[in-house]
């Protein structure tokens, strides 16, 4: 098992070769290193949110994903 | 094996039932707002007034609009917003349907309807619900123009509209 990574909206366009699965446990710094540029710079933007196992993280830098978790990277919303 | 009376493709929309007091849905396919709106009114016969809003894909430079969402949070957050709106405006009922996927100009994107004892609450709840959906809901939107797909961010006006409803 591992951590599944999901890129939403415009981040999906930037994802290119970025990993869709990373070893657990996964913390923020490991994620940033793994995705590389230009995604890493985007993820550091305060308007980018992170969901781990269905919960929006209040502080994405506290990410600590476990085996089987899905981590979604959410760019600024467009609204409906 | 029993045969059907008619092919599935020509069967009208399956019998639609409106949930009360809140009916919140993400719709993967197109819908006609009149049908749910009529049933919503029927479900709230005791209310003094019902206000509604239908958002449609605007014609113009965009040939298509695509709305994407993230299943684990988009619908739960819409439900939460509907609950808060219904409580704040003391509604009898609230309906919020939102499309996802690819739409073309003229198609409905969103339907909001609010039933309340008096008209002011129904108007305001619909307005507030729309302002929140427009700028704070978990949707990502892009439109296809002559030169390809373009991602859309909320307009400054959308944020200003949302600020009208801050209570503190």
- If we measure between CA atoms, which residue out of B70, B20, B63, B53 comes closest to residue B130? B53
Confidence of residue B11 (pLDDT cuts 50, 70, 90): very low
Residue A63: pLDDT over 50: yes
Say if B74 is an interface residue toward chain A (CB within 8 Å): no
| Per-residue model confidence (pLDDT) at position B27 | 97
Model pTM score: 0.89
Q: CB distance A51–B72 less than 8 Å?
A: yes
For A30, the 3-state DSSP assignment is helix
Residue B85 is encoded by which pair of tokens?
A: 């709106």
Residue B101: pLDDT over 70: yes
Residue A47 is encoded by which pair of tokens?
A: 């308007």
**How far is the C-alpha of A20 from the C-alpha of A48, rounded, in Å?**
18
Distant-in-sequence, close-in-space partners of A60: CB < 8 Å, separation ≥ 6: A28, A43, A48, A49, A50
Distant-in-sequence, close-in-space partners of B93: CB < 8 Å, separation ≥ 6: B20, B21, B22, B23, B40, B43, B44, B47, B86, B114, B115
B21-61 pLDDT, tens digit per residue, is 999 999 999 999 999 999 999 999 999 999 999 999 998 88
The answer to whether the CB of B62 falls within 8 A of the CB of B102 is no
**How far is the C-alpha of A75 from the C-alpha of A31, rounded, in Å?**
16
For A16, the 3-state DSSP assignment is coil
| Per-residue model confidence (pLDDT) at position B3 | 47
For chain A, the domains span 3-74
Q: Which of B135, B140, B154 sits opposite A9 (nearest CB)?
A: B140
Residue B13: pLDDT over 80: no
B50-72 pLDDT, tens digit per residue, is 999 999 999 888 999 999 999 99
Q: Which of B133, B151, B153 sits opposite A80 (nearest CB)?
A: B133
Confidence of residue B168 (pLDDT cuts 50, 70, 90): low
Q: Which of 3.10.20.30, 1.20.140.10, 3.30.1280.10, 3.30.2320.80 would CATH assign to domain A3-74?
A: 3.10.20.30
Confidence of residue B14 (pLDDT cuts 50, 70, 90): low
What letter would DSSP give residue A62? G
Q: How far is B6 from chain A (nearest CA, A)?
A: 37
Walk me through the domains of chain B, giving residue ranges and CATH numbers. Answer: 21-163 (3.90.1170.40)
Say if B156 is an interface residue toward chain A (CB within 8 Å): no
Report the mean per-residue pLDDT for chain A.
93
Q: How far is B11 from chain A (nearest CA, A)?
A: 30
């Amino acid at each position: 098992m591992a951590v599944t990574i999901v890129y939403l909206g415009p981040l999906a366009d930037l994802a290119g070769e970025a990993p869709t699965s990373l070893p657990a446990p996964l913390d923020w710094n490991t994620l940033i290193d793994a995705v590389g540029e230009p995604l890493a710079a985007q993820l550091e933007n305060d308007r980018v949110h992170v969901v781990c196992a269905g919960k929006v993280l209040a502080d994405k830098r506290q990410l600590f994903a476990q085996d089987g978790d899905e981590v979604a990277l959410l760019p600024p919303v467009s609204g409906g | 094996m029993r045969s059907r009376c008619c092919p599935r493709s020509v069967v009208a929309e399956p019998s639609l039932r409106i949930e009360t007091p809140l009916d919140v849905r993400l719709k993967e396919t197109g819908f006609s707002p009149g049908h749910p709106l009529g049933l919503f009114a029927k479900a709230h016969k005791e209310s003094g007034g019902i206000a509604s809003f239908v958002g449609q894909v605007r014609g113009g430079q965009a040939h298509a609009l695509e709305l994407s969402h993230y299943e684990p949070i988009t619908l739960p957050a819409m439900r939460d917003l509907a609950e808060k709106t219904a409580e704040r405006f003391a509604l009898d009922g609230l309906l919020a349907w939102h499309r996802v996927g690819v739409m073309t100009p003229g198609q409905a994107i969103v339907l909001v309807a609010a039933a309340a004892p008096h008209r002011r609450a129904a108007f305001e709840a619909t307005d507030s619900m729309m302002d929140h959906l427009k700028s704070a809901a978990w949707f990502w939107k892009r439109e296809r123009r002559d030169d390809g797909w373009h991602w859309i961010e909320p307009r400054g006006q959308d944020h200003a509209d949302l600020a009208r409803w801050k209570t503190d």
